[in-house]
Structures are given as C-alpha cells and as structure tokens.
Amino acid sequence: MLFIARSRPSRSFSSSYTTPSHAQSSNIVTSEAARRNYKKMKQELQNRAPILITTGEPAGIGPDLVVQLLQQPCDAPLAIVGDAELLLERAKMLGVKLVRTEEGLMGKKATAILEQTPLRVPSVPGKLDQRNVDYVMSTLKKAVASCMSGKSSAMITGPVQKSVILEAGYEFSGHTEFLAKRAGVSTPVMMLVNDTLRVALATVHMPLSEVALALTADRLERVLCVVNEALIKRFNINKPVIGVCGLNPHAGESGHLGEEETETMAPVLRKLNDSGLVVEGPLPADTVFAPSVAARFDAIVAMYHDQGLPVIKRNGIGFATNITLGLPFIRTSVDHGTALSIAGTGTAETRGLISALGVTQQLIDAK
C-alpha cells in the first residue's frame, strides 16, 4: 500500500459547528452587559442580507420544511424563493400558522421575505408534475442571481427530484454542477459535514464505471486545492490536514489491485505536499473513517459519491449538511431527498434544515 504523508501528531477532531443562533438565543441572560451585547448581536444579524431558501420540488417535503421552519424563532433574516399559494396551502395541510404579509410570509415565530415565483400548475403532495419543473429551475436561477449580486448572504436549497427534471428535458445531474455552471466555476466540490466529520468528494454524480477515467491528476489536484482553501477561508483552519482515500481496495495494494494510486494519485500528493499543503494518502477507505484515524484530519476526500457519503450518513438522515465548496457564494442544503411519500402529512422532520441554517450562519461569520 502506498502512503504519502507529512509527519504530524494525532489529534482529536474539534467540530466547528454549534446549534443555530435561534437556539442559542434561548440562553439565560444574566447581566445588563450581556443583555446589551445580545441586543447588539441580534441587531447585527438582522442588518445582514438574508439567507435565501429555495422550496425545492413542490410535490416533496421542501415546502413543508420551509413552513415548519417559520414556526420556530430565528434571529437570522430569511428570504424564501417560492410560490406563496403553495406554501399557504401546505401550511393549511399541516395545521400551522402562515400569513402572507406585504413583504413576505409570517409564521408563528419567524418571518421571511418572499421572492414570489409562481407554480405553472397547482402542486399535489407526492405527485410529480413535469409542468412544474420550470418553477424549480426558476427558483434556483433566482437564488444564484441573488447571491451573486449580494442581495442574499447565502442560499440553502431544498431537495429536488432529479428524475422529473431530466424527464422534462433539462440537463441536470445535481445542484452542485448546476450552481457551478451558473456561477462560472469549473471545480465545484461537494462536502458533507456533521459534528464529527467533514467528507468531500473528488467526483460527484456519475456512474461508478466512469470514476476511474474522470479521476485525472489535474482534477484531483484542483479538488484538493479547493478543499484546502475552503478549510482556511470558510472554517478558519490555519493549516488544514486532509486525508485522501484511495480509489481501489486497500488503496491499490502497492499496484496489485489497481494502478490509480501509484500512477495518478501519489504524484499529485507529493506535489501538493512540496507546495505547502498537508495531504496524507492514498489511504484505504475501509479504515480511514475509523474514529481514531479520522480524528487526525480536518477533512477527508473520498474518490466517489458512495465511498464517502454512506459513512457520514450512518447516524441517520438529517444529521449532516451538504456544502458546495468553490462557489463565489455560500450554498448549503439538507442531506436528504424529496420524501414524496410523506409530503403534506406533517411528519417530515426539520432537523436537517435547522442544521443547514446553523452551518450557513457559521460559514457567514467566518467570512
């Protein structure tokens, strides 16, 4: 097994994530000075450009989550890109408060500016309709434009149904690639984070049979540089340490189980280490995620989608947040899909959206 590393002591992982500020606001204020500081902090939050949330597939749980989010207190200013009637109807189904105001929407404990984007046809929970794909794509285009102009401080995207988007004639492999193309970015990188791991992907939405060909030296180098820069600028880690998974079992077993590690990956890692980055690998993917090994790294880069994401989702859906690195703006999302079967029933859990909101606020604070 080939292993390239810089000598560095083992260390414990320290999560940079906490609960969203709306949860923090419930802490008891014990002094007048603390009250003044809290009031000042809250005012600064309110003066920020809003965090924009897209509703995702209208037949899925995206609208449910937006409606339910507005039932909870939130210090951060919010904006919603979506259809008012869709959200009002969904709130009625869920039996929760939602009122259309002059500027947007008001729930039980939070409000949001509304960027009205009409559905093409009324949406029925659980029933996909290709005619509303234009609505979904319009919300994403508006979100990108808002973030690029500075009107919004970040975006959180609701889950979309890729199959119906493709069937409607759009070229769409996922949010990551779509947003990068709209923003003019050549190397977007998907990273999922929870309170113990940051896992990025060298390739994203492609068949497994295409991964080895796509994993060129140039691509790997660009991905690792994007991850390193994001850890410094977005996560305030001065000297990131990045673990790099091998592509093949046992990281190629010194070329006996595949040559990608020796022929492609090792030269890239040597080059980057010589340039000042700290990257370790190629590492066997079946051991690098063990807690004692993963604790050495600020992020681990997996070579393909299902090599890295099942590990970080092992605690259950809704405990991780998806971040797109390399964009000129902050984009996060929930770690789950549209859940068509429970849309409109009130059983969808909001923890994924609340987690994404908390991570988004921390990324904004780090800028």
Q: How far is CA 151 from the centre of its chain?
A: 20
Could you give the residue ranges of the DSSP H alpha helices within 151-237?
162-167, 175-183, 211-214, 217-233
Tell me the chain's radius of gyration from C-alpha atoms: 21
Question: pLDDT tens digits, residue range 214-257?
Answer: 999 999 999 999 999 999 999 999 999 999 999 999 987 888 88
Tell me, what's the pLDDT at 95? 97
Would you call the peptide bond into 328 cis, given omega within 30 degrees of 0 as the criterion?
A: no
Class of domain 1-16+195-314: alpha beta
Q: What is the CB neighbour count within 10 angstroms for residue 108?
A: 14
The CA distance from 35 to 41, in Å, is 10
Q: Which residues in the chain land under pLDDT 70?
A: 1-46, 315-318, 367
118: helix, coil or strand? coil
Contacts of range 87-94, beta carbons closer than 8 Å, 24 or more positions apart? 87/55, 87/63, 90/63, 90/64, 90/125, 90/344, 91/67, 93/125, 93/344, 93/346, 94/64, 94/67, 94/68, 94/344, 94/346
* DSSP summary character for residue 323: E
- 193: buried, middle or exposed (CB in 10 Å: 19+, 13-18, 0-12)? buried
Tell me, what's the pLDDT at 318? 67
Class of domain 48-186+334-367: alpha beta
The CA distance from 355 to 334, in Å, is 8
Tell me, what's the pLDDT at 32? 64
Establish whether domains 1-16+195-314 and 48-186+334-367 are of one fold: yes
Tell me, what's the pLDDT at 316? 59
The CA distance from 157 to 82, in Å, is 11
The CA distance from 119 to 135, in Å, is 6
Tell me, what's the pLDDT at 339? 97
CA distances in angstroms from 209 to 187, 212, 215, 293, listed in the order given: 21, 7, 11, 29
* DSSP summary character for residue 25: T
The CA distance from 190 to 310, in Å, is 14
| CB proximity list for 41: less than 8 A, separation 6 or greater | none
Tell me, what's the pLDDT at 12? 36
Question: Could you tell me where the beta strands, DSSP code E, fall in the chain?
Answer: 51-54, 78-82, 98-100, 104-107, 111-116, 154-157, 189-193, 198-201, 241-245, 278-283, 299-302, 321-325, 331-334
* One-letter identity of residue 236: N
Q: Hey, where are the domains in the chain?
A: 1-16+195-314, 48-186+334-367
Tell me, what's the pLDDT at 28? 38
118 is written with which tokens?
Answer: 């009409």
Tell me, what's the pLDDT at 315? 64
